[in-house]
Structure 1
Amino acid sequence: MTRVVAQGTFDLIHPGHVHYLEDAAGMGDELHVIVARRENVTHKDPPVLPNRQRRDVVAALDPVDDARVGHPEDIFAPIEELDPDVIALGFDQHHDEAAIESELADRGVDCRVERASPREKRYEAEVLSTGDIVERILHQRCED
């Protein structure tokens, strides 16, 4: 059985998230998702929704076998616990594959790191970014 781990913030779930998780699930037999803790999200604005709510929504998606909130201090701790065969990174996630592979090797975790495929917009108004969704809400609500 091939165990896959995907991770992300998953704030305001959109079609890009669904595509990423479907692609990740296709890389193995079992998909485990680590939802980033709000306090660990430093590369962009913090999530709007609480940790547990984001985890619950991700867990409800069909491709996901298990979802958990990440470790408060060590983002690699859940990966060590899950011992995956594959870590699936989102197509546009900011992570450096070589740095991840190096950290995994240092910790004795033997798995490969793969990128999910991109998902193109299927129609003009489709929004595939949480930041873009927030901006659209602010724009539309502030204009009205």
Structure 2
Amino acid sequence: MRRVVAQGTFDLLHPGHLYYLTEAKSMGDELHVIVARSQNVTHKQPPIVPDEQRREMVAGLDPVDSARLGHTDDFFVPIRDIDPDVIVLGHDQHHDDERLAEMLTEEGIDCEVARASARDGDDKILSTGRIVDRICEERC
């Protein structure tokens, strides 16, 4: 059985999230999703939706076999627990693929790192930031 890990903030779910998770699921048999805790989101604005609510929404998506919150202090704790064959990063996630692969090796975790493709060709809003901007433009 090939285990896949996807991870992200998943604030204000949108079709881009579903596309990412569907593609990640296609790379294996089980898709385990790690939802970032608000306190660990430092590379962008903090999530609007509370941690457990974001986890619950992700867990309810069809491609997802399990969803859990990330560890408060150690990024690798849930990865060790899941023992994935591949970690799939979103097309626009800030992680450096090569550096992540090096860190996994340093931690003794044997899995590949893949990058999901971008969804394009339609007019859907595929970014939480763009959703927030649009709400502010039209409702504020």
Give the number of equivalent residue pairs. 140
Check conservation: 1:31, 1:65, Cα contact below 8 A: yes
Check conservation: 1:12, 1:49, Cα contact below 8 A: yes
In structure 1, the residue matched to 2:102 is 102
Runs of 4+ in 1 over 3 A off after TM superposition: none
Unaligned runs of 5+ in 1: none
Deviation string 1:90-117 (CA, Å, 9 cap, x unpaired) is: 0111100111111110111100000011
For normalisation by structure 1, the TM-score amounts to: 0.95
Indicate whether 1:46 and 2:11 are aligned.
no
In structure 2, the residue matched to 1:79 is 79
Deviation string 1:55-77 (CA, Å, 9 cap, x unpaired) is: 00000000000000000011111
Q: Which 10-residue stretch deviates more, 75-84 or 17-26?
A: 75-84
Check conservation: 1:5, 1:87, Cα contact below 8 A: yes
Q: How large is the RMSD of aligned CA atoms in angstroms?
A: 0.7
* SS across alignment from 1:34: strand
Q: Distance in 2 between matches of 1:70 and 1:97?
A: 19
| AA aligned opposite 1:100 | L
* SS across alignment from 1:67: strand
In structure 2, the residue matched to 1:129 is 127
* SS across alignment from 1:128: coil
Unaligned runs of 5+ in 2: none
Identical-residue share of aligned pairs (%) = 61
User: How do residues 1-144 of structure 1 correspond to structure 2 at under 5 angstroms?
Assistant: 1-123=1-123, 126-142=124-140
Check conservation: 1:91, 1:116, Cα contact below 8 A: yes
The Cα of 1:46 is off from its aligned counterpart by 0.3
| AA aligned opposite 1:92 | D
